[in-house]
């Protein structure tokens, strides 16, 4: 028996938005520690890793580990039937071929349930290596979304260069060039509005704007986002999900032939 | 592509 009840159901709706542009289907791996999802996008240059800890749920029960293959388009349709205020419960029997989503209104006067067929996904389990990054940059998530959107107009790819002084985002294309420089915040009233840079060595890498824009679909999950970069390894874009977990996106830098 | 190879190499390191 698996059962996970989330008082703040809107978080699951937001998680869905953060996943569905990159992934058509994915396995939700449930254990007594919580729910994990890890999948490469179709083109195999980005990876999405979601972690929702058991303690973050109002009620969580997982008698035995299970991996639920879900079509994310179908799951998204179902979650659209939940109101933002609803409490959402995900339920499945052991070895079941369906999963049930239950939506309760806050005053319990409306309860809906939707059963969805599970899929058999033949998925590879990838490990994520512990990595020391040369630069980590924390900035407001809305600022990052704005930068990705603005620079996408100039070209298909964007250079992110990080030095002690700050971080520069640049894109070049037919119409010209765009550069956005963010300095490290001197002092801030609210931590989530800060730009904070930790740097071992300067790094400059090029990334496809299309993927960065897809990652920013997670913006509503967190006020700030963290970018981690090192030469020759994938970029990590991390959004924390309140007290419950995180979604991390990995993206290979563009490599010149 | 070389990007795909980098992803495979990175995630196999774990």
pLDDT band at B13 (very low <50, low <70, confident <90, very high): low
> pLDDT at position A94, please?
86
Taking only the tens place, the pLDDT of each residue in A97-120 is: 999 999 999 999 999 999 999 999
A150 phi and psi, to 5 degrees?
-65, -45
**Residue of B5, B10, B13, B12 lying closest to A257 (CA atoms):** B5
**Residue of B9, B1, B12, B10 lying closest to A208 (CA atoms):** B1
Measured in angstroms, the CA of A162 and the nearest CA of chain B are apart by 21
**Residue of A185, A192, A187 lying closest to A223 (CA atoms):** A192
Contact A137, A227 (CB under 8 A): yes
Sheet bearing A59-62, strands edge to edge: A59-62, A2-6, A87-92, A98-104, A111-117
CA dist A49 and A61 (Å) reads: 22
The answer for A 130-169 residues in CB contact with B (under 8 A) is 130
> pLDDT at position A165, please?
85
pLDDT tens-digit profile, chain A (257 residues): 999 999 999 999 999 999 999 999 999 999 999 999 999 998 889 999 999 999 999 999 999 999 999 999 999 999 999 999 999 999 999 888 999 999 999 999 999 999 999 999 877 778 899 999 999 999 999 999 999 999 999 999 999 999 988 999 999 999 999 999 999 988 878 888 899 999 999 999 999 999 999 999 999 999 999 999 999 999 999 999 998 999 999 999 998 76
Residue contact B14–A129, C-beta within 8 A: yes
User: In the A/B pair of chains, how many CB contacts fall below 8 A?
Assistant: 46
Per-residue three-class SS string for A90-150: EEECCCCCEEEEEEECCCCCCEEEEEEECECCCCCCCCCCCCCCCEEEEEEHHHHHHHHHH
> CB contact, 8 Å: B14 with chain A?
yes
């Amino acid at each position: 028996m698996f059962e996970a009840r989330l008082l703040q159901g809107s978080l699951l709706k937001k998680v869905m938005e953060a996943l569905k542009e990159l992934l058509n289907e994915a396995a939700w791996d449930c254990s007594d520690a919580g729910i994990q999802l890890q999948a490469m996008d179709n083109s195999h240059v980005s990876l999405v890793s979601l972690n929702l800890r058991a303690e973050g749920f109002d009620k969580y029960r997982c008698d035995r580990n299970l991996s639920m293959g879900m079509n994310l388009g179908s799951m998204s349709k179902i979650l659209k039937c939940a109101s933002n205020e609803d409490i959402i419960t995900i339920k499945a029997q052991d070895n079941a071929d369906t999963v049930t989503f239950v939506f309760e209104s806050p005053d319990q006067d409306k309860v809906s349930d939707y059963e969805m067929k599970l899929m058999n996904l033949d998925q590879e389990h990838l490990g994520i290596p512990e990595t020391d990054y040369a630069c980590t940059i924390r900035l407001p998530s809305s600022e990052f979304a704005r930068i990705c959107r603005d620079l996408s107009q100039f070209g298909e790819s964007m250079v992110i260069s990080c030095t002690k002084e700050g971080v520069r985002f640049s894109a070049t294309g037919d119409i010209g060039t765009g550069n956005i420089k963010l300095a490290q915040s001197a002092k801030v009233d609210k931590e989530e509005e800060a730009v904070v840079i930790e740097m071992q060595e300067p790094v400059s890498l090029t990334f496809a704007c299309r993927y960065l824009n897809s990652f920013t679909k997670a913006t509503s999950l967190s006020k700030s986002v963290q970018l981690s970069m090192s030469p020759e390894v994938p970029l990590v874009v991390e959004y924390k999900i309140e007290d419950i977990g995180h979604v991390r996106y990995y993206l290979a830098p563009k490599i010149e032939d | 592509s070389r990007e795909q190879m980098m992803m495979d190499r990175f995630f196999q390191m774990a």
